[in-house]
A and B are shown apart, each in its own frame.
Chain A
């Protein structure tokens, strides 16, 4: 094959045009993307507030847990065993 034949098929090549509704499709996609971005957009202030809330809940939880009184009369462990023993078949 000759060196110059290679590009022959491209001689007089006309530009192809995309379909007439392509821009409408692009606009629709941009609208969908924008909606998705708005739905997931969270401001830094909101993030800080949420973190502070979680931290406060953790501290309160720890305080309540520490101050909770011990049960006055803890049930003896053996009682349960005795009761269940009544239902044993063998």
Chain B
């Protein structure tokens, strides 16, 4: 009963973080399952030094990164197979374009490009960006989840944004000429 209440409290956060990383509903649900099974089985390991949500986010991020690493290994192996045996297995591991179900309709195309670019970021930048701007966690909590200082997170976010800008400009050169708009900064 207590576990059900815990699930209800955190399911949305876990699922949304997983969705931002893996960019597919079935995979995100699978990862959400993995996260809650691990939480249930390692509940006694929770020392209480960090906030409960920080612990949950940390497990979620680790599971997501493990999944992405596994996908990359699979893709590399498929590429090798196609090289030596002429199979074209690598295509089935490339994720299709992702449309986040929570994005406002008129921003769907831009969001699709942005999530595609997020997927190509290095792991640490990806994590800092997802937790800060998609999940909208305060920077102190992002730092706690990642086990870094707030300055380090800030620097990761700056690099992530610069990388995203570069990638998006390559995908859509017209974006360079758009007029400035109000900015959105991470929570302090």
- Chain B nearest CB from A39 CB (Å) reads 16
Check A13–B12 contact: CB distance below 8 A. Answer: no
Minimum CB distance partner of B176 in chain A: A1
Check B29–A19 contact: CB distance below 8 A. Answer: yes
Check B107–A9 contact: CB distance below 8 A. Answer: yes
A1 to B45, CA, bound (A): 46
Minimum CB distance partner of B102 in chain A: A14
Query: B134 an interface residue at 8 Å Cβ cutoff?
Result: yes
Query: A16 an interface residue at 8 Å Cβ cutoff?
Result: yes
Which residue in B33, B114, B169, B175 is a CB contact (below 8 Å) of A25? B33
Interface size grouping (class) on chain A: 20 to 34
Query: B7 an interface residue at 8 Å Cβ cutoff?
Result: yes
Of A26-34, A41-49, A60-68, A71-79, the one touching chain B: A26-34
A41 to B17, CA, bound (A): 35
- Chain B nearest CB from A24 CB (Å) reads 11
- Chain A nearest CB from B77 CB (Å) reads 27
Check B15–A13 contact: CB distance below 8 A. Answer: no
Query: B119 an interface residue at 8 Å Cβ cutoff?
Result: no
15 chain-A/chain-B pairs, Cβ below 8 angstroms? A2-B179, A2-B180, A3-B161, A3-B165, A5-B181, A6-B114, A6-B161, A6-B168, A8-B110, A11-B107, A15-B12, A18-B12, A18-B29, A29-B37, A33-B41
Binding site for A on B (CB under 8 A): 4, 7, 11-12, 15-16, 19, 25, 28-29, 32-33, 36-37, 40-41, 100-104, 107, 110-111, 113-114, 133-134, 161, 164-165, 168-169, 175-176, 178-184
Binding site for B on A (CB under 8 A): 1-19, 22-23, 25-26, 29-30, 33
